[in-house]
Structure 1
Amino acid sequence: MDLSLVLALVAVASSVLFLLVTRARQPWQRGKLPPGSLGLPVIGQSLGLLRAMHANTAERWIQDRVDRYGPVSKLSLFGAPTVLLTGPAANKFVFFNGTLAMQQPRSVRMILGERSILDLMGPDHKRIRGALLEFLKPDMLRLYVGKIEGEVRRHLDESWAGRRTVTVLPLMKRLTFDIISLLLFGLERGAVRDALAADFKHVLDGLWAVPVDLPFTAFRRSLKCSASARRVVTGITRETKAKLERGESSRSSGLIACLLRMTDDSGARLLSEDEIVDTAMVSLVAGHDTSSILLTFLIRQLASDPDTLAAMVQEHEEVAKSKGDGDALTWEDLAKMKFTWRAAQEILRMVPPVFGSFRRATQDIEFDGYVIPKGWQVFWTAAATHMDGRIFPEPAKFNPSRFEKQSAAPPCSFVAFGGGPRICVGMEFARAETLVMMHYLLRRFRWKLCWMENTFVRDPAPTPLHDLPIQLEDKAASP
């Protein structure tokens, strides 16, 4: 158990005990609460969930609650009374209900900023989301394929070629960080990008830590590295603004330029500097961490799945044959990689990078005959539908053919990218990044797992055993 977690629980217990008891009693006067127990004050069921995630039994932990209480139950997580909702109907309720606000852990808000898209609602959320959609619209994504390809090829030349073993997860994290920082900021290789990458490695360490600023904790280190990264991002924002004013940069040169160029009808800038910096910080995390996990687990799957590997290699060889020697990949080429993306979706179903998320009820609301009191958290998890055998038969079996048809599962069942008005704006970007990387990786290398144990932990993101070391063979060097 993380020492900071224990210390934090002790530190806050006395201050919130009365609040929790009060919250627990009042709703009985409003309606029928879901079955379940809030458990011990402050602690609730938090430690049990964290232990299950670390032991990779979180899906079983959720299913045990469903078996005991049904698809709707109450509990206490991270110091707040919570309602767990499971199933496609529950997911739809969470994604499309305007009275449920995003509820990020306090640690996330302190590290990534208070004005990020993760916490905004209403017109503020619409403004920021609109800016991101402008940056990630299809016409813009077409322009990014070449930049992604350049980073991928350089990465494989420098970090894979000529090596007998590599450790996949940290390499994927660095690749996806390099790609997103280039597209966000136009930040080329060099000392600034290296320093920002080093900061973000530690920023991520504390996103789900207990937000108590004590020496030698992951949270303290994350706060320090976040402050350092924000100074860099602020500097880039101001430099980009100056370039735009001098006509030395364009709207399409990166997300920062795109955000700075957004104005209202009167010509006033839509976003403040703080909003731009917060948006960039969240985009850096979302744009590289989840993609790196997807790529890592896809590589792990292919090492022990020769049929899928052969089908995927064939698909990419056919794409390569349709092009001239040395021709760059295009958006149209990516559209031909259908089997690869189906395999990636199946990885996202089985190992979603984000286990679940929280909302907060802004007023008393009802679902399935139960009241969810104002101020309570709502917790949903991808595993509740992803691993439901009634929705996805034999859910533990890797089967990309599940995604041959768009309507293969009920709406709001496959929720790796969320859903509703807050569905991930970077879905198509993640697809492009994954397909370009797999195209060059599959055509250049073969690999084997160094460790045959097929295990991983969630901390809170899924991490394979020893970060997935593999034995590598360069196809060009093979007889």
Structure 2
Amino acid sequence: MDHLLIVVALIVTASSIGIHLVTRAKKPCLANLPPGSFGLPVIGQTVSIIRAMRGNTTDRWIRDRVQRYGPVSKLSLFSMPTVLLAGPAANKFMFFSSLLPVMQIRSTKRIIGEKSLLSIHGDDHRRIRGALMEFLKPDMLKLYISRIDAEVRHHLEENWVGRTAVTVLPLMKRLTLGIISSLLFGLERGAVRDALAIDFTCILEGALAIPVNLPFTAFSRSIKARRRAERLLNGIMRERKAMLEQGKVSPNNDLISRLVSMTDDHGEQLLSSDEIIDNCILALIAGHDTTSILMTFMVRHLGNDPATLAAMVQEHEEIAKDKADGEALTWEDLSKMKFTWRVAQETLRIVPPVVGGFRTALEDIEFDGYLIPKGWQVFWTANETHMDPSIFHDPAKFDPSRFENALASAPPCSFVAFGGGPRICPGREFAKIEILVTMHNLVRHFRWKLCYKENTFIRDPMPSPLHGLPIQLEHMTSL
């Protein structure tokens, strides 16, 4: 998707709104507003930051702005008056403030739904997040390791074994979609899962598109795909309810079974059907791209770092030596993969899948002596702390050992790959299991060479390596 075209369209369709908001925002309390400039009317700094993302210079763009204006500055992004907050203290303030809920662009909100965790706050957010965490907490996830292991093995047998070359990113996306379809929706391999995969591609294309519902637009195709996915999930919910009542399935079978089985103090279903569907679609989107991108960049780094790869292989061979051929991994096995998880964290530090995000001020807020007016959006970025040499020594160097002591020496909210505060990513433990299980099977059975040595990538808006990371593949041992 070409985001520059999106920007142009946004300029045309939102210009009057943007001018009104920006000019109105300049009037009150000018002395207390952060330093900075709104730039050109309506356009602001939108084109500039998108160019930086696509040119792999986002770090420099943020750094230059912070050096010029400080850690708090005003600008205009997507026709909205915006405050950029940078640094550990700013991250902590934003993550823990109840007056700064997550902001979604209109198209994303339409596609994911009004009842998702991204769209709600307060008591509803706590209720729905609590319900999701009943499935995503470690004690529950222990039950699913063998199923994830089976999905990974099947994927590698089907898509990697016997090949001399593969392109990593699309395969990692296929793998994570398969795991999510199984564990969240209880879908086995077959036509229904394949149809969901096609619809999911359409849903993603429209989530960041111009919200114009005309037949030829990506947004229109995404809305139709969302409706098909909604019908599928409604059917699964009805089926699970019937099977639960008949004792044919456990509430622990998958996320939908868990959610439809939960009741409130009055014996009523805790979450409405709309809440379940919207948050299942959110989980599908959130758990798909971020994990697949992280594993892709781990493969890319290991292709250029024989020492790190050798250390990972040794760790996983030690775990495998006492297991029978084909025996599934266990929670105890995963607890021994400490070096692999440090490699994953270091990859997240250097190439965070989500470069930052937006919040909205529900009322006038003060931070560091500056006013953030009600209705303004607040932009936070992971890059500023992740690449700060005062926090992470020699930040451009790949060094997994910096995570050995769980960042004991770093200020709170410095490593923010999963966000922070009450809205910290609820699926981070689920993602950790996917990553560790996949890397265990990958490094034990395959070796690879990168077809392109360049460490470049673009953000669109998530990072994508050159040509999807094609590699030459060598199969070492049978799965």
Cα offset, 1:428, TM superposition = 1.1
In structure 1, the gaps of 5 or more residues are none
Q: Distance in 2 between matches of 1:319 and 1:209?
A: 45
Q: Distance in 1 between matches of 2:219 and 2:43?
A: 19
Deviations 1:31-72 (A, max 9, x none): 600001112332211111111111111111111110110000
Query: Is 1:4–1:212's contact at 8 Å kept on the other side of the alignment?
Result: no
The answer to whether the aligner puts 1:3 opposite 2:13 as a matched pair is no
Q: Distance in 2 between matches of 1:409 and 1:347?
A: 17
Aligned pairs for 1:341-352 within 5 A:
341-352=341-352
Cα offset, 1:7, TM superposition = 2.6
Q: Secondary structure at the match of 1:379?
A: strand
**Between 133-142 and 64-73, the greater mean CA deviation after superposition:** 133-142
Aligned to 1:168: 168
Query: Is 2:362–2:375's contact at 8 Å kept on the other side of the alignment?
Result: yes
Deviations 1:145-187 (A, max 9, x none): 0000000000000000000100100000010010011001111
The answer to whether the aligner puts 1:423 opposite 2:424 as a matched pair is yes
Aligned to 1:461: 462
Distance 1:214 1:465, change over 3 A: farther
Aligned to 2:125: 125
Deviations 1:346-395 (A, max 9, x none): 00000101010111111111111101111111110000100111111111
Query: Is 1:402–1:408's contact at 8 Å kept on the other side of the alignment?
Result: no
Cα offset, 1:14, TM superposition = 2.6
Query: Is 2:207–2:222's contact at 8 Å kept on the other side of the alignment?
Result: yes
TM-score normalised to the size of structure 1? 0.96
Q: Distance in 1 between matches of 2:364 and 2:318?
A: 56
Q: Distance in 2 between matches of 1:236 and 1:148?
A: 21
Query: Is 2:449–2:471's contact at 8 Å kept on the other side of the alignment?
Result: yes
**Between 4-13 and 111-120, the greater mean CA deviation after superposition:** 4-13
Q: Distance in 1 between matches of 2:17 and 2:68?
A: 32
Query: Is 2:391–2:414's contact at 8 Å kept on the other side of the alignment?
Result: yes
Aligned pairs for 1:315-334 within 5 A:
315-334=315-334
Q: Distance in 2 between matches of 1:310 and 1:254?
A: 36
Q: Secondary structure at the match of 2:73?
A: strand
Partner amino acid, structure 2, of 1:422: R
Cα offset, 1:198, TM superposition = 1.3
Q: Secondary structure at the match of 2:464?
A: strand
Aligned to 2:211: 211
Q: Secondary structure at the match of 1:253?
A: coil
Partner amino acid, structure 1, of 2:117: I
Q: Secondary structure at the match of 1:213?
A: coil
Aligned to 1:355: 355
Query: Is 2:7–2:47's contact at 8 Å kept on the other side of the alignment?
Result: no
Cα offset, 1:324, TM superposition = 3.2
Aligned to 2:139: 139
Aligned to 2:93: 93
Q: Secondary structure at the match of 2:434?
A: helix
Partner amino acid, structure 1, of 2:118: L
**Between 216-225 and 320-329, the greater mean CA deviation after superposition:** 216-225
Aligned to 1:452: 453
Cα offset, 1:293, TM superposition = 0.5
Query: Is 1:100–1:361's contact at 8 Å kept on the other side of the alignment?
Result: yes
Q: Secondary structure at the match of 2:268?
A: coil
Aligned pairs for 1:331-410 within 5 A:
331-406=331-406, 407-410=408-411
Q: Secondary structure at the match of 2:28?
A: helix
TM-score normalised to the size of structure 2? 0.96
Distance 1:201 1:373, change over 3 A: same
Q: Secondary structure at the match of 1:448?
A: strand
Q: Secondary structure at the match of 2:27?
A: helix
Q: Distance in 2 between matches of 1:476 and 1:323?
A: 15
Cα offset, 1:129, TM superposition = 0.5
Q: Distance in 2 between matches of 1:398 and 1:214?
A: 46
Aligned pairs for 1:245-260 within 5 A:
245-260=245-260
The answer to whether the aligner puts 1:23 opposite 2:25 as a matched pair is yes
Partner amino acid, structure 2, of 1:22: R
Cα offset, 1:26, TM superposition = 2.7
Q: Distance in 2 between matches of 1:13 and 1:336?
A: 55
Aligned to 1:45: 45
Q: How many residues align?
A: 475
Partner amino acid, structure 2, of 1:74: K
Aligned pairs for 1:263-342 within 5 A:
263-342=263-342
Q: Secondary structure at the match of 2:39?
A: coil
Partner amino acid, structure 2, of 1:58: T
Deviations 1:255-295 (A, max 9, x none): 11111112111111121111000010001111221110010
Cα offset, 1:323, TM superposition = 2.2
Q: Secondary structure at the match of 2:448?
A: strand
Aligned to 1:443: 444
Q: Distance in 1 between matches of 2:187 and 2:350?
A: 34
Deviations 1:213-264 (A, max 9, x none): 3554433332332222222222222222222233322210111111111211
Query: Is 1:24–1:81's contact at 8 Å kept on the other side of the alignment?
Result: no
Aligned to 1:472: 473
Match of 1:14 among 9, 13, 16: 16
Distance 1:277 1:63, change over 3 A: same
Percent of aligned pairs with the same amino acid:
64
Deviations 1:433-463 (A, max 9, x none): 1010011111111000111222110000000
Partner amino acid, structure 2, of 1:380: W
Task: Let me know the Cα RMSD of the aligned residues.
Answer: 1.5
Q: Secondary structure at the match of 1:395?
A: coil
Q: Distance in 2 between matches of 1:474 and 1:349?
A: 30
Cα offset, 1:4, TM superposition = 4.2
Q: Distance in 1 between matches of 2:29 and 2:272?
A: 39
Q: Distance in 2 between matches of 1:253 and 1:16?
A: 48
Q: Secondary structure at the match of 1:428?
A: helix
**Between 324-333 and 216-225, the greater mean CA deviation after superposition:** 216-225
